Chains A and B, each alone.
Chain A
Amino acid sequence: MKHFRKLSVPYFIWCIIFILIPLVLIILYAFTNGGNDVKTLNFTLDNFARIFDETYIKVFAKSLLLGVLTTAICFVMGYPLAYIISKQDDSIQDMLIMAVTIPTWINMVIRTYAWINLLSDNGIINGLLGLLGIDPVTMMYTNFSVVLGLVCNLVPFMIIPIHTSLRKMDPSLTEAAMDLGADPVQTFIRVIFKLSMPGVINGIIMVFLMAISSFVIPRLLGGGQFVLIGNLIEQQFVSVGDWNFGSAISTILAVLILIAMRLMKKMDASPMDEA
């Protein structure tokens, strides 16, 4: 059993240098108020107290809501697609997964400008509606445009992990379930869906995290009034230069997410994980 154990050692060292040390720095900033200079440390909890202002609570709530909504839509849209793809021939599967990913290789700003172009009041979609005699619909700078932009950008991160866990699933498992009298719906829920849970959880976590910390898409498609946690943190680090407060916000965010991830992973406590 001990074979291959050493294989994870290099990354452990890497983690300490590239993850642990910067993390300690951020936490240090969060609990001090010496400005950007680490030498003048001054322990304080003020940075955390500030977050409980109504304004920031609102920002948190809005981000979480938007994150949940985006993740839900990505899941509802992505799962069937991943499932359909996993039923194709092997080589076609690779092609389709590549095809899902390729749009994300085009720069995000450029893709978002394309959406502005499609959605604005005198944009392409309204132009087409006009030809059909329908009055222009305001789509830009709404929740709709922001969620649409986020979903289009993030859905590949839902599809890829789900597809990975659906792929190469032993078909005899489904057959066995059917033979034992399960109807297709039962087979799907009890066998297929359950076995794809690791992928589903990975997808949900990735999409949710990227959605709540995104700031380019909300800013371009929602306008500056779309203040989300991502913007707030960026603003503190760059334009205000208040690294202490920025660190405090991201520490809280990280703790919230870690709790959520623990809960999600509990749902996936598979019996095979006994090592």
Chain B
Amino acid sequence: MKKKSSVLSKIYIILCFAFFYLPIIVTVIFSFNSSKSLSKFTGFSLRWYAALIQNNEMMSAVYVSVTIAILATVFSTFLGTITAIGLSRQRKVLKNAILTMNDVPILNPDIVTAIGWMLLFSSLGFNKGYLTMLLAHIGFSTPFVITSVYPKVRSLDPNLANAAMDLGATPYQALTKVIIPMIQPGIFAGALLAFTMSFDDFVISYFVTGNGVKNISIVVYNMTKRINPTINALSAIVVLLIILVLIGMRISRKTGAGEKVRGGKLVAVIIAAALVLVMLGGRAGISGTTSKRELRVYNAGEYVDPELLTEFEEEFDCKVIYETFESNEMLYTKILAGDTYDILIPSDYMIERLIDEDYLQPVDWSLISNADAINPDVLDRDYDPGNVYSVPYFWGSVGILYDTTVVDEEDLADGWDLLMNKKYAGNLYMYDSERDSFMIALKALGYSMNTADPDEIHEAYEWLVRQGQTMDVVYAGDDVIDNMISGNKAIAVVYSGDGAYIMAENEDLEFFEPEQGTNIWCDAMVITKDCQNTDLAHEYIDFFLREDVAARNTVYIGYSTAVLSVYESMQEEDFAGISAFTPRVDYEKDEVFHNQSTAVKKMFSELWTMVKSK
């Protein structure tokens, strides 16, 4: 009987662990992939491990993640444990007050906590960075420690400590020799939860950090457009390290006696190691200040060749503090909270908004020696007439990417209505963004994409609902890139730059811009009002307009560059035959997005939620 049940439980353990580790095994396998795809294995290679070691951004993110997680675990375990012990003796009113407040960070969605702390740190005048991130991590980890430790404390006999003290123990001895050992499993569980929450946190970290301090999650989320197996390589190494540490602990435990002393020593060693790491990091200049000139740049994720930043720093003897965002709206939220940068690289409609709200200063074109290199097609657009504030960086259009082996050439004449062709039901990705989806519907119906007319917007809404109901659409985000490379579906709405990237990886695909007109977008470099070193800011802009720099940057990113000579030569070289690299210009039905009023924005978002939840 006993034997049988233990065999069953072994099988159960094995099945559960197989389920937990299945995605990890896949992750590790794909770290050896020879291509960029995370879902199509093309051959064995170690290139992503090489890329990882050369990637400074990733390596410093590893450092930040690890040290923050260890420090936050230590502090929150300590704080949570003493609080839980104190609570059991506390007056009822205060106890309930603390326990209720303690639940709040657990039950609020991360984004709410994140915004709250972002506002708090800004209003207290904290310099955002490592310290604010650490405080926030302690803040959201401690409640988990308390909820783990407190039930254990509560189930203790309250007389135990008193008995110890009656027998002559000091309160401190009663605490460390009697209470703590009894609640140890709770402390262990709390510490484990704290570490886990801290190590994988993105939202809160993102909003409370600044000055270029990033953890692994921030890097990964902001690279979603260019996600590649480097991060798998990192994961594989993390898994390996953890296994080694565990084996090491097991061996040391088997050979040594006196487990408790060892446990205490282990904690001491971990804390000491973390402190040493922090100090080394400070030395290495991760958060340290230098006498060099500094430039704070805020750009979209994976939107610059990192080697070029290093070269810029060397040539101009300065330090670039580089941060990334996932969307224009993220950028706006951070600016609104009072975070300051010197250079921003947002898109057209956001630039219009920043100009309107007086966040930018005019560009001094006399300092831009390479101004003539800019493609005249991308200058003097509606969002910033005469380019008073902005210098174009990359540009493109929105179009349809399709699988030539599945989609009939003649169906393309339908333009955007191809997305309504029942032949392809269940076989297409829309882009999960209300602005882009409404743009498609409005253009398909022959309206302007910048309309504020409620009737036209409603008609577009109905178009999208009809599409949602008849076409079995999947609304994808940046995962569309990896999905299309793997050939999971035949049609997708994509930005031309992403289209070019996908086409380079999957030869069956072709790109076209419907004749009903589309969105022509432009990302440009702008200088903020707060800019503390305008000379350096202009030098940065000028640097990225240089022919050789723009060429390398274009090869790295894959978007259509604003530097004309490079744009033309690339069509013959690296991007020969890739139609998505050359977006349409000067077509009367194409438009640029304008900044929307809050009322229209609210209407779009409400209707979009309705479209998706039908």
- Which residues of the partner chain A approach B272 to less than 8 Å between Cβ atoms? none
Nearest chain B CB to A19's CB is how many angstroms away? 5
B190-202 to A contact mask, C-beta < 8 Å, 1/0? 0011011001101
- Which residues of the partner chain B approach A26 to less than 8 Å between Cβ atoms? 108, 112, 115-116
- Which residues of the partner chain A approach B195 to less than 8 Å between Cβ atoms? 105
Chain B residues at the A interface, C-beta cutoff of 8 Å: 9, 12-13, 16-17, 19-24, 26-27, 30, 38-39, 79-80, 82-90, 92, 94-95, 97-98, 101-113, 115-117, 119-120, 135, 139, 142, 144, 146-148, 151-152, 154-155, 158, 161-162, 165, 171, 174-175, 185-186, 188-189, 192-193, 195-196, 199-200, 202-203, 216-217, 220-221, 224, 227, 231-232, 235, 238-239, 242, 246, 250, 253, 327, 329-330, 332-333, 336, 430, 432, 434, 468, 473-477, 479, 482-483, 486-488, 598, 601-602, 605-606, 609-610, 612-613
Beyond the given A25-B119, A213-B109, please list 20 additional residue pairs across the A-B interface where CB-CB is below 8 A.
Answer: A4-B175, A14-B79, A22-B116, A22-B120, A53-B606, A56-B609, A84-B13, A107-B235, A108-B200, A152-B22, A164-B185, A206-B106, A206-B144, A213-B110, A224-B430, A224-B432, A225-B474, A240-B601, A246-B111, A258-B107
A195-226 to B contact mask, C-beta < 8 Å, 1/0? 00011001001100100010000011001110
- For A224, give its contact among B152, B220, B475 (CB under 8 Å): B475
- For B98, give its contact among A12, A223, A258 (CB under 8 Å): A12
On whether A4 and B171 interact (CB within 8 A), knowing A80-B12, A242-B598, the answer reads: yes
Alpha-carbon distance between A97 and B609 when the two chains are bound, in angstroms: 40
**Any chain B CB within 8 A of the CB of A117?**
yes
Contact between A239 and B605, CB atoms less than 8 A apart: yes
- Which residues of the partner chain A approach B486 to less than 8 Å between Cβ atoms? 120, 122
On whether A104 and B196 interact (CB within 8 A), knowing A7-B86, A8-B82, A241-B329, the answer reads: yes
Alpha-carbon distance between A15 and B246 when the two chains are bound, in angstroms: 35
Alpha-carbon distance between A26 and B105 when the two chains are bound, in angstroms: 13
- Which residues of the partner chain A approach B186 to less than 8 Å between Cβ atoms? 164
- Which residues of the partner chain A approach B165 to less than 8 Å between Cβ atoms? 3
- For A77, give its contact among B16, B116, B175 (CB under 8 Å): B16
On whether A3 and B154 interact (CB within 8 A), knowing A223-B476, A225-B474, A241-B601, the answer reads: no
- Which residues of the partner chain A approach B482 to less than 8 Å between Cβ atoms? 113, 116
- Which residues of the partner chain B approach A176 to less than 8 Å between Cβ atoms? none
- For B117, give its contact among A1, A18, A225 (CB under 8 Å): A18
Which residue from chain B places its CB closest to the CB of A83 in the assembled complex? B9
Q: List 9 A-B contacts (CB under 8 A).
A: A8-B86, A81-B13, A95-B246, A104-B200, A163-B189, A224-B475, A239-B434, A254-B108, A270-B155
Alpha-carbon distance between A60 and B216 when the two chains are bound, in angstroms: 31
Q: Which 6 A-B pairs have the closest CB atoms?
A: A22-B116, A224-B475, A8-B86, A7-B86, A224-B432, A114-B23
- Which residues of the partner chain A approach B216 to less than 8 Å between Cβ atoms? 107
- For B333, give its contact among A100, A156, A238, A272 (CB under 8 Å): A238
Alpha-carbon distance between A15 and B79 when the two chains are bound, in angstroms: 12
Nearest chain A CB to B14's CB is how many angstroms away? 11
- For B242, give its contact among A81, A102, A241 (CB under 8 Å): A102
Alpha-carbon distance between A98 and B196 when the two chains are bound, in angstroms: 11
- Which residues of the partner chain A approach B432 to less than 8 Å between Cβ atoms? 219, 223-224
- Which residues of the partner chain A approach B474 to less than 8 Å between Cβ atoms? 141, 223-225
Contact between A62 and B613, CB atoms less than 8 A apart: yes
On whether A152 and B612 interact (CB within 8 A), knowing A3-B89, A4-B89, A109-B220, the answer reads: no
Name the interface residues of A116-146: CB closer than 8 Å to any CB of B.
116-118, 120-124, 140-141
**Any chain B CB within 8 A of the CB of A235?**
yes
Contact between A106 and B27, CB atoms less than 8 A apart: yes
Contact between A103 and B23, CB atoms less than 8 A apart: yes
- For A81, give its contact among B16, B203, B477 (CB under 8 Å): B16
Alpha-carbon distance between A210 and B38 when the two chains are bound, in angstroms: 26
Nearest chain A CB to B97's CB is how many angstroms away? 7
Alpha-carbon distance between A226 and B71 when the two chains are bound, in angstroms: 36
- For A12, give its contact among B97, B104, B112, B477 (CB under 8 Å): B97
- For A122, give its contact among B94, B329, B332, B487 (CB under 8 Å): B487
On whether A110 and B220 interact (CB within 8 A), knowing A164-B148, A254-B104, the answer reads: yes
- Which residues of the partner chain B approach A161 to less than 8 Å between Cβ atoms? 147-148, 189
Interface of B is mostly: helix
- Which residues of the partner chain A approach B476 to less than 8 Å between Cβ atoms? 223-224
- For A111, give its contact among B27, B193, B612 (CB under 8 Å): B27
**Any chain B CB within 8 A of the CB of A9?**
yes
Contact between B22 and A118, CB atoms less than 8 A apart: yes
Alpha-carbon distance between A121 and B487 when the two chains are bound, in angstroms: 10
**Any chain B CB within 8 A of the CB of A67?**
no
Alpha-carbon distance between A99 and B13 when the two chains are bound, in angstroms: 11
Contact between B24 and A3, CB atoms less than 8 A apart: no
Contact between B231 and A23, CB atoms less than 8 A apart: no
Contact between B98 and A241, CB atoms less than 8 A apart: no
**Any chain B CB within 8 A of the CB of A10?**
yes
Which residue from chain A places its CB closest to the CB of B427 in the assembled complex? A121
- Which residues of the partner chain A approach B199 to less than 8 Å between Cβ atoms? 105
- Which residues of the partner chain A approach B101 to less than 8 Å between Cβ atoms? 15-16, 19-20, 23
- Which residues of the partner chain A approach B601 to less than 8 Å between Cβ atoms? 240-242
Contact between A114 and B24, CB atoms less than 8 A apart: yes
**Any chain B CB within 8 A of the CB of A227?**
yes
Which residue from chain A places its CB closest to the CB of B116 in the assembled complex? A22
- Which residues of the partner chain A approach B17 to less than 8 Å between Cβ atoms? 99
On whether A224 and B605 interact (CB within 8 A), knowing A35-B598, A103-B23, A234-B111, the answer reads: no
- For A3, give its contact among B171, B200, B327 (CB under 8 Å): B171
On whether A8 and B83 interact (CB within 8 A), knowing A103-B21, A110-B235, A114-B23, the answer reads: yes
Alpha-carbon distance between A202 and B84 when the two chains are bound, in angstroms: 15
Contact between B106 and A209, CB atoms less than 8 A apart: yes
- Which residues of the partner chain A approach B227 to less than 8 Å between Cβ atoms? 109, 113
Alpha-carbon distance between A157 and B196 when the two chains are bound, in angstroms: 10
- Which residues of the partner chain A approach B111 to less than 8 Å between Cβ atoms? 230, 233-234, 237-238, 246
Contact between B612 and A18, CB atoms less than 8 A apart: no
Alpha-carbon distance between A112 and B26 when the two chains are bound, in angstroms: 11
On whether A107 and B85 interact (CB within 8 A), knowing A160-B193, A224-B475, A272-B154, the answer reads: no
- Which residues of the partner chain A approach B242 to less than 8 Å between Cβ atoms? 98, 102, 105
- For B109, give its contact among A123, A164, A165, A230 (CB under 8 Å): A230
**Any chain B CB within 8 A of the CB of A273?**
yes
Contact between B155 and A106, CB atoms less than 8 A apart: no
Contact between B39 and A237, CB atoms less than 8 A apart: no
- Which residues of the partner chain A approach B192 to less than 8 Å between Cβ atoms? 97-98, 101, 160
- Which residues of the partner chain B approach A206 to less than 8 Å between Cβ atoms? 106, 144, 147
- Which residues of the partner chain B approach A100 to less than 8 Å between Cβ atoms? 20
Alpha-carbon distance between A239 and B350 when the two chains are bound, in angstroms: 12
Nearest chain B CB to A117's CB is how many angstroms away? 4
Contact between B115 and A241, CB atoms less than 8 A apart: no
